[in-house]
Structure 1
Amino acid sequence: MPTQLREGPWHIGNLIEGDIFTAHVKSTQDLRCTRVTFYPVLFSRYREGASDGIVSFFHAAPVNVSVFRKPSDATIAVIMVFPWFTALLVCLTWNAQSSTQSRILGIFGHIGKSHFYVFEPLLKALAAKGHNITVISYFPQKKILPNYTDIDLHGSVTTLEPTGGVTFEDITGGSNFGTARMVVDLGAQDCERVYSHPSIMKLIHSEEKFDLVINELFNTDCYLGIADRLKSPHIALSSHALVPWANDRFGNPDNPAYIPNLFLLLSNRMDFFERFQNTLTLLYHKIIYYYISDPKVIPIFKKYLVNSSPLEELKKNTSLILVNSHFSLNQPRPLVPTVIEVGGIHFQQPKNLPVDLDKFISEAKHGVVYFSMGSMIRAETFPEEKRRAFLEAFSELPQRVLWKWEGDELPDKPDNVLTQKWMPQFDILCHPNIRAYIGHGGLLGTLEAASRGVPMIGIPMFGDQFNNMKSMADTGMGLVLQYKDITKNNVREALRAVLENP
């Protein structure tokens, strides 16, 4: 029987392996050549189905199905020698392609620092490969990088500062419905402020050309007008699992019977009431985005981009989206080919810890608990009773505790607790002496904890944090501690659960 080959795309090593094709030739009387797509001198797809086959490598266009007689020994010899010839062509082509530089524009109009943390390593890597990268954001590089140009948006936002933060009072007491409405309203408000920024005005009235535009798909699509004005293809990035309004443009399934909403504390195994809740929430989110947010954005298009294409058309012209999620954590779901999971894309090689942190962690006989509420929530705004609940629970631990505390001093701090205003989170989680992680359930932190095998206690506060922590709990990588349930006993029991049964 001939060797069975799975459907491509294939790597070059699989495609030109002489023995594989010889096995086909020797064992098949009638050989069929199926449709082939070439890229650029290699074909990238070979379908093995009802018939066996070999492929003529010398065609420069797709080949229709046809029947060949069994080849002669001379043909077999050519097939055996051909891999060396192809390898030479590939080497020459690869060198030619590597010298090609693209001009890429990144547009990131959201003020959330954690969002930009996801995109920044990709942008830097593209610049390091020789591409010319221009980045519109609130987070310019502190040091000049080759091939990397910043357009700084500072000054365009009046409601929130990107480097500030929020308090627990700001985000408690709201509902998931209110959170989603706040998110899209913020996107619509910031849209005109960004377009009216002098640097953006200069860009959209210039004759600059870009080979690609990359934008974040989050709370507004208004920045797609810039890609349309520049006549550039565009792709999207998402720093978290897909928002409810992202699926339609790609034709991606979002069946609420088994795909939990990003903003809900639900798994993919729901009872009837949970499916009903999930369905209503999905419909609500789409309604506020399509019928409240978009109508606010369209007049901005007409004001700053007179001849822009319709917004709905620009959405559907998004070529693909890279999503910072992974089925092992965010639960498996069907995805069309244009939706690509790249969970952990922000991971980098762990660095050596500062001397004081390394000493504190390494010398902890019973290990260390790491506590951080992320880049936006300021820990010193914990209400008094909840702050004391943590302190009293920590004081009874044999473990040491690292607490990201943005205030000047933590009152009544136990001897086993060390606070700092900023900590290198991923580097800390990579240390083998970290025993547990307490956080708010943001996707960056949950991915980092899962990748390092650190059990987590999640205190979800808003957005996707509920869904992230539900996924962590369902996969046995953590547990959920609701904010309203924070007491000394509950904190102590949660710590005991993850420390004694990690």
Structure 2
Amino acid sequence: MVTLSRALLFSCALIWRVNCLNILVWGTTIGHSHIAFLGGIGDILQKDGHNVTMFLFENDPEVTTNDIPIGQIIRYNSPLVPKDEWSKLNFKSKDVFQTHTMEIADFFRMQSVNHRVCQTMVNDDHILQVLRNSKFDLAIVELFHFCPAGILEFVGVPKIILATALGMTYAHYELLDLHVPMSHVPAQMTHLGSRIPFFGRFYNVLFNYASKFCYYYSLYQDQFIFIRRFGKFPRLDELYKKKIDYVFTNTNEFTESTRPTLQSIKNIGGSTMMTPKPLDKDFDSILSSAQKGTILFSLGSLVKPETMPKFIEKAFLDAFSEFPEYKFIVKGPSESNFTYPNIHYRKWIPQVDLLADGRVKVFITHSGMNSLHEALAFGVPTITMPIFGDQDSNAVIAFERGYSYQLNKFTVTKARVVEAIRAVIGENGQESSYTRSARRAARILKGTRPSVRREIARLAKVSGSEPQLHHLRLNADHLNYIEYYNIDVYLVLLGSVFTVLYAFFRLWPYGDRKQLFAFYELELEVIKEESLSQQESTHDSNPWRTQCGAKGVNCRQELTQGPSSLLGPNCLGCQLPE
């Protein structure tokens, strides 16, 4: 009996081991939306029976994890990084409404923070031992720097799935050996759409090469840390390339421009969205009191409503007052508004629950990727005002897909907000094209969320339990730059053309060439004369010419229009042949 019990326990343990993986979800606290996206993936895998641990490489201490449904979360910070270091970034310390998408100074500051946290962690034997003892089968990593590749190699994690809360960036394509055409594929975090004019293509090329510089700057910065600590150490980008099976992107066909892809790139946009719940009495009463519907206004977690410039806030509030038949729910302190009866401020809003209700007609948003997915899921058209990061790219694609009207934070006025709202809600009771496009997208995407969640669980299980999935990779890692772009082939073809031309003009005597050309000219003259003779023979055999003389030509031309045309002025005196 004891032997049988042990056998049963061993069998159960074996089954558990086969079906349950130890998974590490590695995030960097750049912003709450990134952690929410990774937390959503972790929640899917946790519900699938896996043991999930979230490890947060702390950049911004203000990013919270209260709503992350993962049991074990480890936050790691460095004493080398002051608590207020992240707040010195331009988009945090200055007015974000006056900051462009990404300033190069912010990139270097962000890399400096990551570098110091990485340096501390590489020399922290305790945390390295904790991670090593956990015996993780798989790590899901959002790529902001190269330190995770080295740490995961040192603690023995064999496989990696990259996850990005944005779309595909230069770094992702580089690690997959996939070079996309810069002529029509806009770089992430630019304002470019799918139809790029000359100066746009010029900017796109410059931005891609700037991204390449940032890629290698970050790589070598982190590489030196591991060399100083361990001596000879594998290249961090090569470790990523060796271990990556899949890339999960927070996009779908309505939130990213059409571009080349691979079977290892999986679009999972919208799958991590929370399940909507019924509204509480407060929000339900607001929606019920609206004559024509409710409009939701939220600019995400990065923008604090109290820091919004007064002229922008006034432009929106004055515009909202022009639509008394609509109620406006605005994310902000509840004491912010005492003037407009149709505007309701709330410090916290259940965004998904409101969008799913059906009574919200328009969503005014910063065009964060998660917000766009939530609006699309329930067919709510949007008005976007991008603030920072990838939001410019998202807003342009949303506009091109037809479900969003775009505003510019630098030029926003009351008149433009009014124009945007009228365009999206439609006039004279007519449904707008934006609403039709949003509802069409919702119909197309309907039912995809459960299937994508199942696919995430399946792919994680495959990646964590199988050897390297080399069949998913491009067979291009052995090619150098010249071979990748077929430059050697084009050079050979060009050389062959020049060789033939040289032989023709240099080695063939001029007299022989002249005789050859004269022969061809003679042949062309003979062919031309034969053609003219055939035409004259056909012309002389026409019965109308014999009966009408010179007028036969005119008669013949009019005859093609019908017999009645023979009575026209050009055929006077002509007779029909018997």
- TM-score bracket, normalised by the shorter chain, equals 0.7 to 0.9
Pair 1:343 & 2:269 matched: yes
**Structure 1 match to 2:113:** 189
Corresponding residue SS for 2:345: strand
Equivalent-residue separation in structure 1 for 2:311 and 2:164 (angstroms): 36
Whose helix fraction is larger, Structure 1's or Structure 2's? 2
Summarize deviations over 1:71-100 as a string: whole Å, max 9, x none: xxxxxxxxxxxxxxxxxxxxx9xx957963
Corresponding residue SS for 2:410: helix
Corresponding residue SS for 1:319: strand
Write the letter of the residue equivalent to 1:293: S
Query: Alpha-carbon deviation of 1:356?
Result: 0.4
Query: Alpha-carbon deviation of 1:199?
Result: 11
Contact 1:389–1:488 under 8 Å retained in 2: yes
Contact 1:266–1:274 under 8 Å retained in 2: yes
The within-5 A match list for 1:154-173 is 158-159=83-84, 169-173=94-98
Contact 2:138–2:160 under 8 Å retained in 1: yes
Query: Alpha-carbon deviation of 1:140?
Result: 7.2
Contact 1:440–1:461 under 8 Å retained in 2: yes
Equivalent-residue separation in structure 1 for 2:64 and 2:337 (angstroms): 35
Contact 2:300–2:368 under 8 Å retained in 1: yes
**Structure 2 match to 1:205:** 129
Contact 1:140–1:152 under 8 Å retained in 2: no
The within-5 A match list for 1:47-196 is 96=15, 100-137=19-56, 142=66, 148-153=71-76, 158-159=83-84, 169-176=94-101, 178-179=102-103, 182-183=106-107, 185-193=109-117, 196=120
Corresponding residue SS for 2:254: helix
The within-5 A match list for 1:209-288 is 209-217=135-143, 219-232=144-157, 233-288=159-214
Contact 1:390–1:491 under 8 Å retained in 2: yes
Write the letter of the residue equivalent to 1:311: L
Equivalent-residue separation in structure 2 for 1:224 and 1:135 (angstroms): 16
Equivalent-residue separation in structure 1 for 2:365 and 2:385 (angstroms): 6
Using the TM superposition, name which of 136-145 and 439-448 deviates more: 136-145
**Structure 1 match to 2:407:** 481
**Structure 1 match to 2:329:** 402
Identity of aligned residues (%): 26
Write the letter of the residue equivalent to 2:402: G
Summarize deviations over 1:19-61 as a string: whole Å, max 9, x none: xxxxxxxxxxxxxxxxxxxxxxxxxxxxxxxxxxxxxxxxxxx
Corresponding residue SS for 1:369: strand
RMSD: 3.0
**Structure 2 match to 1:301:** 226
Summarize deviations over 1:381-400 as a string: whole Å, max 9, x none: 11111111111111121210
* CA pair 132-97 structure 1, distance change in 2 beyond 3 A: closer
Q: Which structure: larger Rg?
A: 2
* CA pair 98-367 structure 1, distance change in 2 beyond 3 A: farther
Corresponding residue SS for 2:147: coil
Query: Alpha-carbon deviation of 1:194?
Result: 5.1
Contact 1:241–1:324 under 8 Å retained in 2: yes
Summarize deviations over 1:155-182 as a string: whole Å, max 9, x none: 76534669x9966943344444x43662
The within-5 A match list for 1:290-369 is 290=216, 292-304=217-229, 306=231, 308-317=233-242, 318-369=244-295
Corresponding residue SS for 2:103: helix
* CA pair 369-281 structure 1, distance change in 2 beyond 3 A: same
* CA pair 282-144 structure 1, distance change in 2 beyond 3 A: closer
Equivalent-residue separation in structure 1 for 2:46 and 2:69 (angstroms): 8
**Structure 2 match to 1:22:** none
Contact 1:386–1:487 under 8 Å retained in 2: yes
Corresponding residue SS for 2:260: coil
Contact 1:167–1:377 under 8 Å retained in 2: no
Pair 1:436 & 2:362 matched: yes
Query: Alpha-carbon deviation of 1:287?
Result: 1.3
Summarize deviations over 1:120-161 as a string: whole Å, max 9, x none: 122122222221112112667659978x32112367653466
- Given the two structures, how large is their TM-score scaled by the length of structure 2? 0.64
Write the letter of the residue equivalent to 1:127: Q
* CA pair 222-392 structure 1, distance change in 2 beyond 3 A: same
Equivalent-residue separation in structure 2 for 1:143 and 1:409 (angstroms): 25
Contact 2:296–2:364 under 8 Å retained in 1: yes
Pair 1:448 & 2:384 matched: no
Corresponding residue SS for 2:73: strand
Equivalent-residue separation in structure 2 for 1:400 and 1:155 (angstroms): 46
- Given the two structures, how large is their TM-score scaled by the length of structure 1? 0.74
Equivalent-residue separation in structure 2 for 1:307 and 1:199 (angstroms): 16
Pair 1:382 & 2:308 matched: yes
* CA pair 166-284 structure 1, distance change in 2 beyond 3 A: closer
Contact 1:180–1:285 under 8 Å retained in 2: no
Q: Where in structure 1 are there 5+ consecutive unaligned residues?
A: 1-91
Write the letter of the residue equivalent to 2:129: H
Corresponding pairs, count: 404
Q: Where in structure 2 are there 5+ consecutive unaligned residues?
A: 1-10, 427-431, 436-578
Contact 2:316–2:414 under 8 Å retained in 1: yes
